[in-house]
Amino acid sequence: MMMMMMMMMMMMMVSPTYTFYLKVVQLKVHSSSHQLAGTRLDLNLEMQRLSYGNEVSAAFESKALNVAVSPE
* pLDDT score for 64: 63
* pLDDT score for 55: 78
* pLDDT score for 69: 56
Q: How far apart are CA 66 and CA 60, in angstroms?
A: 10
* pLDDT score for 11: 65
Is the pTM higher than 0.85? The answer reads no
Q: CA 15, 21, 26 angle in degrees (round to 5)?
A: 125
Q: What is the pLDDT along the chain (72 residues), one digit of tens a residue?
A: 777 777 777 766 667 788 888 899 999 999 999 999 999 999 999 999 888 887 777 777 776 656 655 555
